[in-house]
Amino acid sequence: MSGRERPGSGRAGRGPARRTPGRGRDFAGTRPEQPGREPDPAGPGPEPAGESVLGRHPRPTREELAAAADRTLPDIIAPGLDVLFVGINPGLWSAATGWHFARPGNRFWPALHRGGFTPRQLHPSEQDELPGHGLGITNMVARASARDDELTAAELLAGAEILTDKVRRYRPRWVAVVGVTAYRIGFARPKAGFGPQPEPLRGALLWVLPNPSGLNAHFTPATLGAAFAELHAATGR
């Protein structure tokens, strides 16, 4: 979800995105997180057919999902946030609905609650409540795609520059990049790992979290929630 950037404006690295050989592999050709977005619009969870978790938001049709490619998604952002979460780029569900990390099966919102950032699990449609909790969401790359391995390295590098400028303007205390592979490429840190990073970003402390995509089999809902909880503890909230 998600997820860095030119929100609402053009796209960095304009031109047809180069697909990394090997569908489903990450940008570097390995599988540290198994990132990507599921091509099947069906997803796990208690959602009735044709409705969202809240039972009042219709699911996007296949045609709507196809039409959402390359759209951008507005940031959820305000000055002086405690934590600005940075997704990789919007998926088609997010672009079609207007909600970050909207695809059924994405575990961002459960992890946010498990980690102690919100008093209850928010539905993606409730994303505008985040600034009231001192939280925000942006993305490394603004344009939506079916899978994040459709992005080019040039897009991620340009997105990191835009994110840096955004952090300078909005001055969050912490910046949490949700996806280690995107962070490694965008910030030219090929050996970066999860957790706190040694260098701040325009005065903000940097943290890298696992990709909450349902395809990231290396992290269960419990271990993903624990990773978010570690960041929560570090922020002193």
Predicted confidence at residue 70, as pLDDT, reads 97
CATH classification of the domain holding 192: 3.40.470.10
Q: Does 164 map to a domain?
A: yes
pLDDT at 213 over 50: yes
Predicted confidence at residue 56, as pLDDT, reads 55
| Mean pLDDT of all residues in 41-64 | 56
**Catalytic one among 100, 139, 211, 232?**
100
In the chain, the number of structural domains is 1
pLDDT at 193 over 70: yes
Give residue 53's pLDDT band: very low, low, confident or very high (50, 70, 90).
Answer: very low
Report the predicted TM-score, pTM, of the whole model to 2 decimal places: 0.78
Q: Which of 20-24, 49-53, 95-99, 176-180 has the lowest mean pLDDT?
A: 20-24
Predicted confidence at residue 112, as pLDDT, reads 98
State how far Cα 137 lies from the chain centre: 8
**Residue 139 a catalytic site member:** no
Predicted confidence at residue 16, as pLDDT, reads 40
**pLDDT, tens digit (0-9, with 9 covering 90-100), for 136-175:** 999 999 999 999 889 999 999 999 999 999 999 999 999 9
How many DSSP H helices and E strands does the chain contain? 6, 5
Q: Does 11 map to a domain?
A: no
8 Å CB contact between 147 and 214:
no
Tokens of 191: 């050996």
Residue bearing tokens 């040039």: 154
Tokens of 88: 């990789």
**pLDDT, tens digit (0-9, with 9 covering 90-100), for 63-106:** 999 999 999 999 999 999 999 999 999 999 999 999 999 999 99
**Catalytic one among 57, 89, 211, 218?**
89
Percent of the chain with pLDDT over 70: 76
**pLDDT, tens digit (0-9, with 9 covering 90-100), for 7-24:** 333 333 434 443 333 333
Q: Which of 52-61, 106-115, 149-158, 184-193 has the lowest mean pLDDT?
A: 52-61
Residue bearing tokens 């997803």: 43
State how far Cα 235 lies from the chain centre: 19
Q: Does 6 map to a domain?
A: no
- Spell out the residues 6+ positions from residue 7 whose beta carbon is closer than 8 angstroms to its own: 72, 73, 74, 75, 138, 139, 142
Which residues on adjacent β-strands are paired with residue 208? 177, 195
**Three-class SS of residue 102?**
coil
8 Å CB contact between 104 and 45:
yes
* 19-26 LR contacts (CB < 8 Å, sep 24+): 19/149, 19/150, 20/149, 23/147, 23/149, 24/147, 24/149, 24/215, 25/149, 26/149, 26/181
| Mean pLDDT of all residues in 189-214 | 96
Structural domain range at position 224: 62-235
**Residue 106 a catalytic site member:** no
Q: Does 48 map to a domain?
A: no
